Chains A and B, each alone.
Chain A
Amino acid sequence: MDGGKVTVGRTAALYAGAAVLRLAIFTLLPDLPDLLTGRVEVSTPVTSFKRCLFLYNHNVSPYDGGVYHQAPLFLLLFSLLPNALSYPIFTYLLYIAIDLLSAGALWKIADSGEAGSSALFSSPRRERRWSGFVIAAIFLFNPFTIATCLGRSTSVFTTCAILHAIAKAVSGAPFSAMVALSFASYLSMYPLLLLPPLLLLCFDRQRPERAKKSILSFAATHVPVVFGVLGLLFGMSYLITGSWEFLPSTYGVQLTLSDLTPNVGLWWYFFIEMFDSFRSFFLAVFWLHLSCYVGGLSVRIRRQPLVVLTLLLGIFAIFKPYPSISDTSLFLAMVPLYRHVFPLMRYSFVIAAVIMYASFLGPAFYYLWIYAGSGNANFFYAITLVWGLGLSLLVCDLMFAVLRDEWELERPEMAGKEIRQI
C-alpha cells in the first residue's frame, strides 16, 4: 500500500477521482446537498451555509436577528460567486477545490515524515507508514469529509487553513504557518489554541540557515505575526460590515453559546439544562476545560509537536462548543499519519465500532426526536455522548500508543511486553 512510486498520473487520478465523485453526487442527487446542509451533524450555527447567504442576499445586515454567526469575509467570498441558488455549480466547484487544497496540504505533511521522526525524536517504527497519496486518499474519500463538502459547511475553510498552517510549519515556513493559523482563528476562533504546539513545530522545523536558538525569541517574533494578521482581518471585516457588531455575533456566540441548536457536541444539552445563575460560570469551565489541554500536552509530548496538534484537534472535535463531523473528519485525516503506532493501540476495534455505531444511530435518533416525535432530546444526547466516547477513546488510545512508542525507545528491552498504566 505504501511502496508504490507516486507518479504525477496517480496524483491527478486521485484528485480527479475525488472531484468527480463530489460533482457526480452534486449533479445526480441535487437534493442531497440541501438535505445535508440542514443536518445538525453537518451544519452548526457557526458553520451553516444556509444561514450564511440568506440575509446577505436580501440586503439585511447579516448580524441582525441572531441567525448568522460567521466571519464577515465569508460574505464577501460568497457574494463574489454567482448566486448560489441559480448557479450552484460555482459554489460546488469552490468547495471541491478547498477539499483538494486540504488534501494537498495533508499530502505535504505526510511526505515530510514529521509524524515518524521529528527534530527531537525518531520512532523506531517510522518505516511503517503510509505515503502521502494514501493519506490524502483516506481524507478525500472519508464519508465525513464528503458529507461536509456536500453540506457546504464553512468549516472546510477552517480545516484547509489549519492543514496549511501545519504543512507550512513542517516545511520550515513559520511565517506562512502563522498567517494560515490566523486565518483559521479568524474563521472559527478555536484554532488560536493550536498556537503553542504550532510554534513548537515551527521552531523544531525551522531552516538551519536562519534558525533562532531560543524558543522565547522565536515566539516573540512569530506570535505578533498572528495577532497582526488577525488585526488586519478584523479591520477588513470592519470595513465590509461598517461596524464591530460582527465580533459579538461571531465570537461572542461561540463564547456564550447563545444559540442552543443541537449538534453532535456535548455543550448544547448541558446548557439547556443549566440553571441561569450558573450559566456563565459553567461556560467558563467548559472553555477552560477545552483550553487546559494545550499546555499539558505541549509539555508532555514536547518532542513530537505534530502529535500534540493531532490530539488537540481530536479534543476540539469532542469538546468545542459547536462541533460537527467536519471537525471529526479533520482529526481522522491526521490520525493515519501515525500508521506506525497503530500496532500499539489497544482498542482499535472498539473505537471503530463505537464511531460507526454512533454515526449510524445518530441520524436515526435525531429523526425519532424531531420528526417522529417518539423519542426526546435525551435520545439524541445519548448518542452524542457515545460519539464523544468513541472519539475520546481514539484520542486516548493514540496518545497511549505514541507515549509507549517514545517509552520503548528509552527501554528497548520492554518492547512487545504487556504493560499497565498506574
Chain B
Amino acid sequence: MSAQPLSSNDNDAPITPITPKEGAPASTRKLPPPEKPSDVRRRSHVILSFWLIVLILGLPIWWKTTTIYRADLPLQEMLEWADGKACRPVFPLRISIQATSLQDQEAQNLLRLTQHALDDLNDFAGHHLRLQLGDEKLDSADNGSALIIRLTPGEGTTATLDPYEPILDITYPPNTIPSPTASSSPLATYIASQLRTTFAEEQATISYLLSTNSMPSEHRPLGLSPETTESLAKRTTRSLKYAPTYHLTFSLFTSGPLPSSWNIEGAIDEYMKPVLEVLSPIHNFTIDTQVQLYASPGVQNQILNKEDLSSFINAAEWPLSPSIGGAPTINFIVFIGNQTIANPSQDSPTSQSWLIPQWGTVYLLSLPDDTTHVAAATLKQPLLTFTSHLLSLTGTPESGSLPLRLSTLARIRSADLLLRASSTLGSLARLAMALPSISIPSSVADGVTKTMSHLRLACDNLGGTEGLAHARIAEAEAERAFFEKSMVGQLYFPDEHKIAVYLPLLGPVAVPLVMGLINEIKAWRKRRRERAEKGAEKKEQ
C-alpha cells in the first residue's frame, strides 16, 4: 500500500518524450538532451536521503525490536538443582533424651550406645536421627528437637507416645542400664528400634518422594517394599497439591425442605478448630458454609454401592464452586438422608462417609424427618470424620501422635516443595537450552535467581518451619518463572514465517528504494568511465 507514493518519488527520474506518432523509425529516435549536473546531483541527494533514513534509523530499529531478548540464566546451577547435586536433602532430626534418674556418665554411655544402634539400623543417609542429652526444663520447641525421649525407671520395658506432646515415654528396669564398658545393651537397642518405628513412616514417605524425583541413586534409599510404595503412592494421589491456603466449604444438602439451618459455626469451633490451629504453621484455612434445600443426589438408591459413590454428587445442580480465589477448595458435604453405603468386604456396620481424593468428603447423616435445626452436637461425628479426612487430604502421615504427625507433615511438605521447585528449574533450563529462539524476559531470570536463593535457604534449614517457608517461596517463584506468558509467543514461529511477515509490506517499499540505488550506482559508474575516457583522450591530444 505504501508503494504508491514511494514510487511517485521516482518522478525525479528524467521525463522523456514519447516519439511523435507520425515520427521517424526507431533508429532515428530523438534522444533526450543530456541531464544537467545539478539534476544528477539532486537525484543522488534524494536517493541518499531515503537510504540514510533506512540505514541510520531503520536498521538499528529493526535490530533492536526483533532480536529476541534472552536473559542470562545460570543453566548449569539450575541443572544441578534438578539433578539433586546442589542440595542433599538431609533431615537432621535431633532427639533429646531426658534421663533425670540416671547419672550423667551413665546417660552419656546409654546415648552413645543408642546412637550406635541407630546408625547400624539406619540405611538412609538423608534421614538422620541424632541423639543428645536434653535438659528437663527445655521443651521440644526451644531446643529444636523433633522428639523427646523421657526415660523413667519402671517395672518392665515399655514405650508410649504422649498424645499431645512430641514425647516418647520409655520405662526401663533399673538393671538394664548398660555398664560403661559394655559394647551393646538391650535397652539401647530397644530405644533405637522404638525410634525407628516412630519415624518409619516419615522415612518411607521421604524416600518415596526422593525416588519419584530425579535424585541421584546414591541418595536414594533402598529397600522400599512394593507394598509400601503402593500405599504411599495411594496416599500421595489422595492428598491435595500443597498450597499455603486451603478453602474449606461446608455444605448441608437435604432432599426436602428440612432441616433448614445448622449450627455449623459452633460445631467447627468445637470439633475442628483445634486441628486447624495446629495445622496453621503449615496451612491457612478459609471457611464458608452453605445450606441447600431440595437437593437431589445423583444416585437415589437406598444402599450405595462402591460404584454409586462416584456419581452421588450431583455436580450439575449442586452449587459446589471449584475454587474460590487462588486457594484450592476442599469440600465437606453433609447429606441429610437415610441412605447407607454397602460394605461388601467386611461385616462391620455400614459406613456413612467416604473420601473423594483431592476433593473432599461426603457424610450421610440420617435425621428424623421433622428436624428443622441441626444442633452442633449432631454434627460431632460428621465433623470428626471431616477432620480426620482433612488430615489425610493434606497429606499428613497416618501413624504416630498428632504433634509428631504434624512435624512430619511439615518436613514432608518442605521436601516435596524443594523437589518440585528444583525439577521446575531443571525443566526451565532444559527448555532454554533446547529452544534457542525462545525469549527469556528478565522477569524469568529474576524468578530463577530468587528461586535458587530460597532453595539454598530451604535446603540449609530442612526440617524446620523456616525451611518450609523458603521452599514455599521457591516453588511459587519457580512456577511463575516457568509459566511466564511472554516466553511462548515466539515459540512456534519458525524463521521461514518471518519472510511472510516482512515481505508484504517491506517488499513494495524496498523495490523502488533498491532499484533507485542500483540505477544511481550504474549511472555513477558510467559517468566515471566517461570521465576517464575523456581524460585519456585529452592526454593523447
Whether B522 sits at the interface, judged by CB under 8 Å, is no
Known: A284-B61, A419-B15. A278 touches B49 (CB 8 A): no
Count of chain A residues with Cβ under 8 Å from any Cβ of B? 44
In-complex Cβ contact of B9 among A300, A319, A385 (8 A) = A300
With most chain B CB atoms within 10 A of its CB, the pick from A292, A293, A302 is: A292
Flag whether B489 is at the interface (Cβ < 8 A): yes
- Residues B4 and A281 in contact, CB atoms below 8 Å apart: no
Q: State which of A266, A297, A395, A421 has its C-beta within 8 Å of the C-beta of B15.
A: A421
Do B8 and A395 touch (CB < 8 A)? Answer: yes
Contacts of B1-52 to chain A: CB distance below 8 A: 1-2, 4-5, 8-18, 20, 33, 42, 45-46, 49-50, 52
Q: Is the CB of A385 within 8 A of B11?
A: no
**Residue B493 interfacial (CB < 8 Å):** yes
Which single residue of chain B is at the shortest CB-CB distance from A278?
B501
Binds B, one of A3-11, A184-192, A238-246, A398-406: A398-406
Bound CA–CA A385/B8 (angstroms): 18
Q: Give the CA-CA distance A404 to B65 in the complex, in Å.
A: 41
Interface residue from A284, A319, A395, A414 paired with B17 (Cβ < 8 Å) = A414
**Residue contact A299 to B57, C-beta cutoff 8 Å:** no
Q: Which residues, 384 to 399 on A, are CB-close (under 8 Å) to B?
A: 385, 388-389, 392-393, 395-396, 399
A194 to chain B, nearest CB (A): 16
- The distance in angstroms between the C-alpha atoms of A399 and B45, with both chains bound, is 18
Contact of B58 among A285, A393, A414 (CB under 8 A): A285
A311 and chain B: residue at smallest CB distance: B5
**8 Å CB contact of B46 from A296, A399, A411:** A296
Chain B: how many interface residues by the 8 Å CB criterion? Answer: 39
Interchain CB contact under 8 A, A281 and B5: no
A54 at the binding interface (Cβ < 8 Å): no
Are A422 and B16 in contact (CB-based, < 8 A)?
yes
Which of A280, A291, A295 lies at the interface centre, i.e. has the most chain B CB atoms within 10 A of its CB?
Answer: A295
**Please, which residue of chain A has its CB at the minimum distance from the CB of B41?**
A299
Prevailing SS type, chain B contact patch: helix
Residues of B within 8 A of A414 (CB): 17
Check A392 against B4 for contact (C-beta < 8 Å). Answer: yes
- The residue in chain B whose Cβ has the minimal distance to the Cβ of A319 is B2
- Check B5–A296 contact: CB distance below 8 A: no
| Contact in complex: A396, B8 (CB < 8 Å) | yes
| A389–B5 alpha-carbon span in the complex (Å) | 10
Q: Are B8 and A400 in contact (CB under 8 A)?
A: yes
Contact of B61 among A275, A288, A292, A395 (CB under 8 A): A288
Chain A residues with CB under 8 Å of B62's CB are 281, 284
Question: Once the chains are docked, how many angstroms separate the CA of A278 from the CA of B46?
Answer: 29
Q: Which of A275-329 contact B (CB under 8 A)?
A: 275-278, 280-282, 284-285, 288-289, 291-293, 295-297, 299-300, 302, 315, 318-319
Give CA–CA (A42, B414) in the complex, Å: 63
Over the window 52-64 of chain B, the binary record of Cβ atoms lying under 8 Å from chain A Cβ atoms (1 yes, 0 no) is 1110011001100
Contact B52 A420 (CB under 8 A): no
Contact A297 B9 (CB under 8 A): yes
The yes or no answer to B514 lying at the interface (CB within 8 A) is no
Q: When A277-B490, A285-B58, A318-B5 are in contact, do A420 and B18 touch as well, CB less than 8 Å?
A: yes
**Which residues of chain A are near B320, meaning CB under 8 Å?**
none
Residues of A within 8 A of B505 (CB): 282, 285
- Our pick among B5, B13, B42 for the contact of A396 (Cβ within 8 Å) is B5
Closest Cβ neighbor of B43 among chain A residues: A300
Bound together, the chains give a CA A406 to CA B490 distance in angstroms of 52
Nearest neighbor of B2 in chain A, beta-carbon distance: A289
Q: Which residues of A contact B76 (CB under 8 A)?
A: none
The answer to whether A300 touches B42 (Cβ under 8 A) is: yes
Out of B4, B11, B490, name the residue touching A421 (CB < 8 Å): B11
For the complex, give the distance between the alpha carbons of A385 and B20 in Å. Answer: 37
List, in ascending order, chain B residues with CB within 8 A of A403's CB. Answer: 11-12, 15
Could you tell me if A419 and B489 are in contact, using CB atoms closer than 8 angstroms? Answer: no
B1 touches A300 (CB 8 A): no
B506 interfacial by beta-carbon distance below 8 Å:
yes
Chain B residues lying within 8 Å of A58, measured Cβ to Cβ, are: none
* Cα distance A422–B14 in the bound complex, in angstroms: 7
B9 & A293 in contact (Cβ 8 Å cutoff): yes
A418 contacts B by Cβ under 8 Å: yes
Contacts of A292 in B (CB 8 A): 49-50, 53-54
Residue of A nearest to B68 (CB): A277
Instruction: List CB contacts (< 8 Å) of A62-84 with chain B.
Output: none
Which residue from chain B places its CB closest to the CB of A279 in the assembled complex?
A: B65
A186 CA to B52 CA, complexed, in Å: 27
Q: How far is the CA of A23 from the CA of B509 in the complex (A)?
A: 46
Question: Contacts A275-B501, A396-B4 given: A419-B17 contact, CB under 8 Å?
Answer: yes
Q: Is A357 an interface residue (CB 8 A)?
A: no
Chain A residues whose C-beta falls within 8 Å of the C-beta of B10 in the assembled complex: 421
* A395 near B501: Cβ-Cβ < 8 Å: no
B493 lies within 8 A of A277 (CB) = yes
Q: A295-B52, A296-B46 in contact; A277/B489 too (CB < 8 A)? A: yes
Please state if A299 and B49 are interface contacts (CB–CB under 8 Å): yes
Give the residues in chain A near B57, CB-CB below 8 Å.
Answer: 284, 288
Contact, CB under 8 Å: B58 / A288: yes
Residues of B within 8 A of A300 (CB): 9, 11-12, 42, 46
Q: Which residues of A contact B5 (CB under 8 A)?
A: 293, 315, 318-319, 392, 395-396
Given contacts A299-B42, A389-B4, A422-B16, contact A399 B50 (CB under 8 A): no
What are the residues of chain A within 8 A of B439 when measuring CB–CB? 277
Cα(A296)–Cα(B17), bound, Å: 25
A289 to B505, CA, bound (A): 11
Whether A227 is near chain B, meaning CB under 8 Å from some CB there, is: no
Which residues on the A side are within 8 Å of B8 (C-beta)? 392, 395-396, 399-400
A417-B17 contact given A281-B65, A289-B2, A399-B11, CB 8 Å threshold: yes
Query: Is B66 among interface residues, defined by CB-CB distance under 8 A?
Result: yes
Contact status A404-B15, CB under 8 Å: yes
Q: How far is the CB of A292 from chain B (nearest CB, A)?
A: 5
Is A121 part of the binding interface, using a Cβ–Cβ cutoff of 8 Å? no
Q: Point out the residues of chain B lying under 8 angstroms from A347, CB to CB.
A: none
Task: Quote the shortest CB–CB distance from B44 to chain A (angstroms).
Answer: 10
Assess whether A360 is interfacial by the CB under 8 Å rule: no
Q: Which residues of chain B come closer than 8 Å to A90, judged between CB atoms?
A: none
A419: B residues at CB distance < 8 A: 15-18
Contact call A388/B61, Cβ cutoff below 8 A: no
Contact assessment for B53 and A299 in the assembled complex, using a CB-CB cutoff below 8 Å: no
CA distance A392 to B9 in the complex (A): 12
Q: Nearest chain A CB to B162's CB is how many angstroms away?
A: 62
Could you tell me the distance in whole angstroms from the C-beta of A185 to the nearest C-beta in chain B? 19
- Which of chain A's residues have a CB closer than 8 A to the CB of B20? 417
User: Which A residues touch B1, using CB under 8 A?
Assistant: 266, 385, 388
Residues from chain B with Cβ under 8 Å of A418 in the complex = 17-18
Residues of the B chain whose Cβ atoms lie less than 8 Å from the Cβ of A282: 505
A-side residues, CB < 8 A to B, are 266, 275-278, 280-282, 284-285, 288-289, 291-293, 295-297, 299-300, 302, 315, 318-319, 385, 388-389, 392-393, 395-396, 399-400, 403-404, 407, 411, 414, 417-422
Instruction: Identify the 3 closest CB pairs spanning chains A and B, nearest first.
Output: A295-B49, A396-B8, A281-B65
Residues in chain B within 8 A of chain A (CB atoms): 1-2, 4-5, 8-18, 20, 33, 42, 45-46, 49-50, 52-54, 57-58, 61-62, 65-66, 439, 489-490, 493, 501, 505-506, 509
23 contacts between A and B (CB under 8 A): A275-B501, A277-B439, A278-B66, A281-B66, A284-B58, A285-B58, A285-B506, A288-B54, A292-B50, A295-B52, A296-B50, A297-B9, A299-B45, A300-B46, A315-B5, A319-B2, A395-B8, A396-B4, A399-B11, A417-B17, A417-B18, A420-B18, A422-B14
- For the complex with contacts A288-B58, A318-B5, 11 further pairs of A-B residues with Cβ separation under 8 Å are A276-B489, A277-B493, A281-B66, A292-B49, A299-B42, A302-B42, A315-B5, A388-B1, A392-B8, A400-B11, A417-B17
